[in-house]
Amino acid sequence: MMRIVKATFGILLLGAIHHTIAANIETLKPFSAKFTHEDGVYDISALRLDWFSARNLCRIQGKDLVSIETVSENSAIMNAVSAMTTESFWISGSDLFQDDAFYWDSTGVAIGPFQNWGPDEPSGDGDCVELNIDMNHLWNDYDCDAEKLFICEWHPCPNVTSF
């Protein structure tokens, strides 16, 4: 009985925390720019967060950190961030659960066939993938605890008129 009470309290507490965060997202103004590419919508953050917090903020809104899977998508993202010449950005790449085997955390799929690593990367310096400003926004593995801007991605469902 006590386990049920503790579990119920935990669920209620987490629900309240999630609701509070979700309610405050609009007042935080977490995004500075939005753009579309093919069927995707992309939000560029105005906040610097560690990789985990960035991923969670995207997910609270029904989005995820961006997975860059094609040359075309990469070009669209590079065009959007090109004006931000002093910033690095978190993307969804990680090897947190598969050391030395990077995958997209948002989909669970291995990175590839398109890849845009910087020279000698991934180097093993970190477990999360960034668009590194010092490498002209090529990919770099970096310490997940560092605070960086980030890019969220989502794919809205097309209007459904009938089943």
**pTM tops 0.85:** no
- pLDDT at res. 138: 96
For 123-150, give the secondary structure using H, E and C.
Answer: CCCCCEEEEEHHHCCEEEEECCCCCEEE
User: What's the longest Cα–Cα distance across the chain?
Assistant: 58
Helix or strand or coil: residue 12? Answer: helix
Q: What single DSSP character describes residue 46?
A: S
Could you list the pLDDT tens digit for every one of the 163 residues in the chain? 443 433 343 344 344 444 444 444 555 666 677 888 888 999 999 899 999 999 999 999 999 999 999 999 999 999 998 877 789 999 999 999 887 799 999 999 999 999 999 999 999 999 999 999 999 999 999 999 999 999 999 988 776 555 5
CA distance linking residue 18 with residue 12, whole number of Å: 10
Classify residue 11 by burial, with Cβ atoms within 10 Å: 0-12, 13-18, 19+.
exposed
Structure tokens at 82: 């090109």
Q: Which residues of 96-122 are buried (b: 16+ CB within 10 A; e: fewer)?
A: eeeeeebbbbbeeeebeeeebbbeebb
